[in-house]
Structure 1
Amino acid sequence: MPSRAPRLCDCGLTVPFGERCGCKAAGDADRKARHDRKRPSSSQRGYTGAWDKAKKGFLDRHPWCRFCGKAATLVDHIKPHKRDPVLFWDKSNWQPLCITCHSSSKQMIERRESKR
């Protein structure tokens, strides 16, 4: 079965189909590191011991992912709280998600809404 032809990266290297060039991966890592240096710590964003207890109680009452129905492992804020403590603790703004849905489906929804 023939495979698709390799492509030429912006840096000039030939990259096999389905793979990423090392320069792109290094650029992504650098961009993410710059973002993380500016980002407040998890406790500064509200994720403290009190959150851990509230999250556990919520997941005990809502054990299934809202998107796919698998076992939920995360409590997601439907509307991003942006460090607003009232919105952060508003349980009507919480939803149970599995890690896969939180890392893919939910992120896609948030990117789409941020472009509006």
Structure 2
Amino acid sequence: MPTKPPRICSCGKITPANVLCLCERRRKAETDKRRPSAHDRGYDSHWKQARRAFLDKHPSCAMCGKPAVVVDHKTPHRGDKAKFWDKTNWQSLCAHHHNSTKQSQERKQ
């Protein structure tokens, strides 16, 4: 079975694929300290109800058609409550596409 080759971290160290370098872990930890909780970002019981209703109406991933488990904001809301609750900005995604494809698209924006 083929394996991914090692990669070079931004600090210059060679690290195994899919493993965070120590500097990357520190950076992530610092970012996580500053980030508000999910509840503070609007993902509360009202969101859970709306998410469940949306997934019931749109059960397939918008990218591949597999069963969806995530309601994603097509355009990041960045704390804007109007964008957050705009259902035309929502799409159903499978975990794979939400956690990989969509995240890499958002990093480019």
Give 1:19's aligned amino acid. Answer: P
Deviations 1:22-80 (A, max 9, x none): 8x621111111000000011111000000000000000000000011111000000011
Query: Does 1:19 find its partner at 2:10?
Result: no
Q: Say which one has the larger Rg.
A: 1
Give the superposition deviation at 1:108. 1.7
Alignment length, in residue pairs?
A: 101
Give, in whole Å, the separation in 1 of the partners of 2:8 and 2:91: 43
Query: Does 1:54 find its partner at 2:50?
Result: yes
The 5 A counterparts of 1:59-78 are 59-78=55-74
Q: What stretches of structure 2 of length at least 5 have no aligned partner? A: 1-5
Partner of residue 94, structure 1: 90
Runs of at least 4 residues off by over 2 Å: 6-11
Given that residues 7 and 16 in structure 2 are in contact (C-alpha distance below 8 angstroms), is that contact kept between their aligned partners in structure 1? no
State the percentage of identical aligned residues.
46
| RMSD between aligned residues | 2.4
Return the TM-score normalized by structure 1.
Answer: 0.77
